[in-house]
Amino acid sequence: MSATDNTTSTLDLRIPLSEWIRPSQAFGNQQSSGGSGALPDDYLLPALQIACSLADQICKTKDESGQLQLPTPGTDWIDSIVVITDGAPSPPSASAADGDLSNGIRVEILPTLFFDTTDSNNLGRARNGGILFSLGIVFYELFSGGERPAEMKPKQIIEGDNFEVSQGQTGTRELLESLETLPFGQGDGTIDLEGVDIDDFDLFTSHDLQDEYNDIWGSDEIDVCSLQGQNPRKKESTSIDNIMHAVTVEPLKAKGVPGPLCDLIANMMDIADGKLGGEDGYRAMSDVRDDLQLMLDKPSIYLFDQDMGRLSTTGLQFGGTLFGRNAELYTIIDSYRRSAVGESESVIISGKSGTGKSLLAVEVGKYVISNGGILLTGKFDQLQQGKPFSALASAFNQFCEALVDNDDLAPMKQKLAHQVDCVLGGDAYHLTKLMPKLSIILGLNFSCSNHDEDCANAQKRLQWLMCKFVQVLSTSFAAPVTLFLDDLQWADSASIAAVNQLLLAGGLTSQEGHFFFLGCYREGDTGSGVTYDKIIPSVNVKLDCMDEETLNTMVSETLCLSPRLTRTLSSVIYHKTKGNPLFVTRLMMSLCKDGLLRPSLRQRRWEWDKEKILRQKLPDDVAEFLSHTIEALPDDLKATLRVLSCFGASVNSAFIKALERALGRNLLNGIGAAVAEGLLDKIDDQYRFSHDRIQEAAYNMMNVFERCEFHFRCGMALASLEDEEGGFIFTAVTQLNFAGPEAVEDERQYAIIANHNLRAGKKAMEVSHFEAAYIYFDNGITFLRKEHWEEHYALSLELFNLAAKCALANGDIDSLKLLSQQVLKKAQSFEDTLNVMYCMTCSLSYSSKLPESIEKSLDILSQLGIDLQGRESSMEVCVKETRDLLSSYTYDELLNIRRMTDSTMIMAMKFLSKLMTGMAQTTPESAPRVAQQIIQLSLDHGMSPVSPLGFVHFGSYSAKLGDISGGYNYVKLARSLLDKFGSKENAGEIICIGTQVVSYLEPLQATVEYHDEGYAAGMASGDIFQAAMNIMTRYVSSFCAGVKLQTTREIVDEGIEFMRERKIVIFLLELQGFRHYLLKLMGIDEELKQVSAEEENILATNYNAMKVQLFQKSYISFMFRSYDDSKAYAEKYFACIAKASIANLIVAHSFNAFYIGLISFWVARNSGDGEQWYERGNKFKLALGKWAETSQWTFENKWYLLEAEEAFCKGKFDDAKVYYEKAVKSAKNHKFVHEEALAYELAAYFYLAIGEVSNATEHCLLAHDRYQEWGAIGKCANLFKFIGDIMNGCVDSSPAHSLAVANAMHEVQSDLAHLLSEDSNLNAEARKRRVEDRSSENQSPRDQPRSSIK
């Protein structure tokens, strides 16, 4: 039995090692990873596993009592070793799969090999490395195919200074058959070394024995006292005089055994003066075991021979392996996995320069791709910050380019094109400006389209389009999208905002696609002022420098040498570099170049001169080290690096060729040399500095004046080149701006450079990057000379106007004021000031100065001949005048009016648009007059992008006054004009206003989806307020349509997140209040969020916001039957109505009218001033009746229920019964489950009041069923309480019927018990049928609601 802890199964095959070994002549020409003539893998790898198992057992073998066992040194170990396999055949066949170790090969050492460690003579046998030497002999035989070293005599045992020849050795197989299991506890003494491995065995007390043992195991000690009393386990031998010999491994190399394995065996048997010697010689068995394990785990690095001849030519090579970052890698991968199935997440990798941030990101990218994900990669650059969305554009465009260039992906390309067209339509044009290759995929020609409309916020439009594109990518390819952006410290705020929008959109619409963001941020650089904490992070991963052990692993794998051999070199490198990975790689390359680290053809491994390396004086900072490295390069190579460093971290071949033409010099030769030096990497068509620090070191070699001169020369040369895509214009102008006006050599060049900046700024605006555009315009203004208004008026006016527009988009009001003042002062006509005045007017409205904005707009319009001041008239008069104005035009004539071309009138229409928006919030009674003026100008001067807005508002005003059908026609006209003229500037508002008119004609349920279209249009135009309006109307419509409360809750939660992110406080307040009451209906108690001082001020001063809040409180009080609260809040609501009028017809009007009408009738029955409340209720009933004439589907049930409540008030109980049943049926037929429930509930209260308690109970239970179907569990609980109160006689009915209620309590209790009994046949459906049977009218179910507005 072996002296190991391993147990063996009865199915295991036990084979003597001597029989397992395959003779070398049987190897033949079998396949080998080591090349021609090498040992075949099907033998080499299992044999290596046996060797590793042997070394491991010697390190760990203990007997049953936990005593450490030592094998007797000798040359015949092979006869005492058994190979155990999991049912595999003995020895490995030539047909075995390469490297297949699945048979679980392991070994046992027979107990006869272990000696009595209590006898000092026995310990002497182990002196001078006898155990290592003995195992080396076994390895020699194992890998040679059974041959022994030529230096060894047959069957020798190493003992002390002599060899003993064993007498009468029994063969191993005979031993296996004849030996009984020897108990490890034999002997009088004990060895108590529990928990100690052989390499930690350091308990010698005898100095003589200590010295002997140190030669074997290092500084280990053995407690001699604990080694007494053990009986010997080897047979007696006779001594012969001999010593251990150094053994050559050349025969092994000749047999094809890999060089590193030969070196391992040689280092185990490196004998000098009778002792183990040599610098590389082993001192501990654990080192042997660890090296063998590395050969098994990473054979390509540690087992097979390296091509030292090639390395002597190419020099040191780094493979891009990640060292010591497994924990960080798994953290990021876990975050990615979460994002792939849930909401979007982001990870920011931060750390100092050179700590391996980008390399870690590359490993994550490999994982993403290997798991079927989509990976987009981009890199920000300090010297390319002027290029709009440089990193984002590169990431998306490269992905599109890969689709275009790969013919195998043609089906996916077609699918993507189809999906983009379906989701984005013509708006995809704006994305093609950012990613030109997308236009090839789409195959669309946008040249004939008009894309010059004034976008309220084109940057937000682009953000939204990018979000939709990512969703399309994810859904089209059925894979999560990962965006990796490097060097975030150089990112512009617009790009960061776009990333945040992608994360936010992914969080809100994760069901439509999955998005993951990964970024790298270098600490210690201020960059553009953007810090990574401005990105919405899920996980932050911080990288530090490597510790010494990790660095040694890196050096070991790079040099393909055991970690024990590289430790001396790693220690020196660590203390020189402090573990900075970049510093380590550059230092090792420098040492290789200087010959201090070199490949040895003789030893076939790397070697180094430790002492010379130690004497080298190196800078402490990696940047300084790189500067010294570049300084030592040839002059022509330094010049090439300086040129490239001026253009950032990377350039492509096309740009290099253009630069060569522009500068008239050859660069590619120097670039090739830089690649050979490892300073540049060539990746496909890109040349990239190996690290940003190298680029920075090359750039800093030039002084300020040299940089200025070079930037100017390159910029002027590049600007003169023709480039179809316009890509060089950004690079050229950025170079000129780096140089500055001081570099200009000719006075005429000032205006030329200003014009170049104008071109670049316009292109930046095309991709909605207003920050970059503003910088270009501002630089262009800087290049203008003192008399520029007189000498270059048109250029100056355009630069100032566009700079003002960008300042407005960026929220830079101070710059906007300064620019506007200059234009107002220098403009040659009033018309030339309109652009900046429009920007100033917009800034006033954005900053909540609506009255001032309105006043300024009215004044400007007056100067344009459009006088709206003093033309006060009622909405009725204004609508009539506009209807008369349009009466002479047919629908087709209006649709075919020419397009407006007068630039002054176009600006006037913009002012009118802003004026109408402002007046709708402050003086809604004046808004119809503005709509009338828009229509008048459209008829006189042609249709503009603002014209559909005027028509849709006019249609809404007409509908509000009662002409719903006529208003509906103008809504359809507005939609048609919107489609015809292709302008999306006001599409979100047009859809929002128009759809609410449509809801008064068509089934409400069918119109809800239109607000999704309106939201998309608002986002596509960059108008967040338009998008927010559609979100608000969508939730109101969903609730009114009886959508299940859980679905409505999800809509509201998304809306709250949207409003909070964009700081739309008024809508946020409304949604938060609605959510609170929605949850109450669902049975979830949640405290209403405390309002801030700003929000409190809005509620106190904004009457529309106040009206919404008061209605919400009235509604929820009514639903939970709180009479006093309902009355109090309704009183306040009526007081607020007069101050919070809205000119347009909106969905909320009908919703409010319905519930305030119900409250009014309820109060009228129970209040002393019942007549006033009755009149209020009747007014709302008449309004619902009028609306029911145009949309029976939506309003009929509401009108019936108000009729029932009115009849209840007037004591017409028979009429009330009929109307309650009609309200129930109508609500059911028209799919308003919540209002069907309400009709049942109010009918229950009615029946209770007139003493029909059984009917009351029955209707109450039916109401409960419908509320439960709606999802109003909280309301269900409220109803059960009411039912309980009926049973207990606690309900306070009207005085006239209280006696009847009291007399019927016994009947109520028995009836209710019967209804709720398990044996009752009156389930919910039966109860419903009983009530329906009472109805005198039979209405057939109608089709599902459908709409025709589209």
Q: Provide the pairing of β-strand 374-379 with 481-486.
A: parallel
Does residue 450 have a pLDDT over 80?
no
Does residue 368 have a pLDDT over 60?
yes
Q: CB neighbours (10 Å) of residue 509?
A: 17
Q: Taking residues 920-930, what's their average pLDDT?
A: 86
Q: What is the pLDDT of residue 97?
A: 34
1253-1272 burial, b at 16+ Cβ within 10 Å, e below that, comes to bebbbbbbbbbbbbbbebbb
Identify the three-state secondary structure at position 343: coil
Q: Which residue has the higher pLDDT, 247 or 1182?
A: 1182
- Considering only CA atoms, which of 234, 285, 236, 239 is closest in space to residue 116? 234
CA distance 512 to 506: 8
The answer to whether 597 touches 608, Cβ cutoff 8 Å, is: yes
H-helix or E-strand spanning residue 345: strand 345-351
Most confident of 189-193, 351-355, 891-895: 891-895
pLDDT band at 26 (very low <50, low <70, confident <90, very high): low
Q: What is the pLDDT of residue 75?
A: 75
Q: Taking residues 552-567, what's their average pLDDT?
A: 93
Instruction: State phi, psi for 1158 to the nearest 5 degrees.
Output: -65, -40
- Considering only CA atoms, which of 622, 753, 802, 758 is closest in space to residue 694? 622
- Least trusted range by pLDDT, from 5-19, 592-606, 810-824, 1022-1036: 5-19
DSSP E strand stretches across 531-630: 539-543, 597-600, 605-608
pLDDT band at 952 (very low <50, low <70, confident <90, very high): very high
Provide, for the chain, the percentages of residues in helix, strand and coil under a 3-state DSSP scheme, each rounded to the nearest 5.
60, 5, 30
Instruction: Name the token pair of 301.
Output: 């690095």
Q: Taking residues 448-462, what's their average pLDDT?
A: 55
Q: What percent of the chain has pLDDT over 90?
A: 35
Does residue 1332 have a pLDDT over 70?
no
Sign of the dihedral defined by the CA atoms of residues 913, 917, 922, 927, in that order:
positive
What average pLDDT does the structure give for the chain?
A: 79
Q: Taking residues 328-351, what's their average pLDDT?
A: 90
Instruction: Name the token pair of 113.
Output: 């090999």
Identify the three-state secondary structure at position 519: strand
- Considering only CA atoms, which of 912, 964, 957, 967 is closest in space to residue 936? 912
| Tens digits of residue pLDDT in 51-67 | 999 998 888 766 565 66
| Tens digits of residue pLDDT in 119-171 | 555 555 555 467 888 888 899 999 988 888 877 655 444 444 443 433 334 44
Q: What is the pLDDT of residue 883?
A: 94
Residues 6+ apart with CB under 8 A from 1050: none
| Tens digits of residue pLDDT in 633-656 | 888 888 888 888 888 888 888 888
pLDDT band at 449 (very low <50, low <70, confident <90, very high): very low
The model scores a pTM over 0.85: no
Residues 6+ apart with CB under 8 A from 1212: none
Q: Which residue has the higher pLDDT, 42 or 1295?
A: 42
- Considering only CA atoms, which of 980, 844, 868, 1026 is closest in space to residue 932? 868
What single-letter amino acid sits at 19?
E
DSSP codes, 826-888 = H-SSSGGGHHHHHHHHHHHHHTT-HHHHHHHHHHHHHHTT---TT----HHHHHHHHHHHHTT
What single-letter amino acid sits at 864?
L
Residues 6+ apart with CB under 8 A from 1092: none
Instruction: Name the token pair of 792.
Output: 């270059």
Identify the three-state secondary structure at position 261: helix
- Least trusted range by pLDDT, from 27-31, 536-540, 552-556: 27-31
pLDDT band at 972 (very low <50, low <70, confident <90, very high): very high
Q: Provide the pairing of β-strand 156-159 with 162-166.
A: antiparallel
CA distance 975 to 997: 13
- Considering only CA atoms, which of 1202, 1211, 1186 is closest in space to residue 1235? 1202
Residues 6+ apart with CB under 8 A from 456: 985, 1021, 1022, 1023, 1025, 1026
The answer to whether 282 touches 268, Cβ cutoff 8 Å, is: yes
Does residue 1122 have a pLDDT over 80?
yes
- Considering only CA atoms, which of 690, 688, 1347, 710 is closest in space to residue 1003? 1347
DSSP state for residue 1191 in the 8-state scheme = -
Q: What's the chain's Rg over C-alpha atoms?
A: 44
Q: Taking residues 514-525, what's their average pLDDT?
A: 86
Burial grade of 86 (CB within 10 A; 0-12, 13-18, 19 or more): middle
Q: Taking residues 613-625, what's their average pLDDT?
A: 76
Residues 6+ apart with CB under 8 A from 190: 65, 67, 226, 229
Instruction: Name the token pair of 988.
Output: 């979100």
Q: Which residue has the higher pLDDT, 592 or 1092?
A: 592
Helices marked H in 962-1023 — which ranges? 964-981, 987-998, 1004-1007, 1010-1021
Compute the half-sphere exposure of residue 617: CA atoms within 13 Å on the CB side of its CA. Answer: 1
CA distance 1060 to 355: 37
CA distance 357 to 347: 12
Does residue 604 have a pLDDT over 90?
no
Does residue 713 have a pLDDT over 80?
yes
The answer to whether 34 touches 305, Cβ cutoff 8 Å, is: yes
DSSP state for residue 1296 in the 8-state scheme = G
- Considering only CA atoms, which of 468, 462, 487, 463 is closest in space to residue 378? 487
pLDDT band at 1193 (very low <50, low <70, confident <90, very high): very high
Instruction: Name the token pair of 1021.
Output: 């135009």
Q: What is the pLDDT of residue 239?
A: 33
| Tens digits of residue pLDDT in 1218-1245 | 999 999 999 999 999 999 999 999 999 9
Does residue 92 have a pLDDT over 50?
no
Q: Provide the pairing of β-strand 650-652 with 481-486.
A: unpaired
Q: Provide the pairing of β-strand 345-351 with 539-543.
A: parallel
Q: What is the pLDDT of residue 1345?
A: 38
CA distance 1346 to 1350: 11
Helices 635-645 and 622-631: angle between axes, nearest 10 degrees: 130
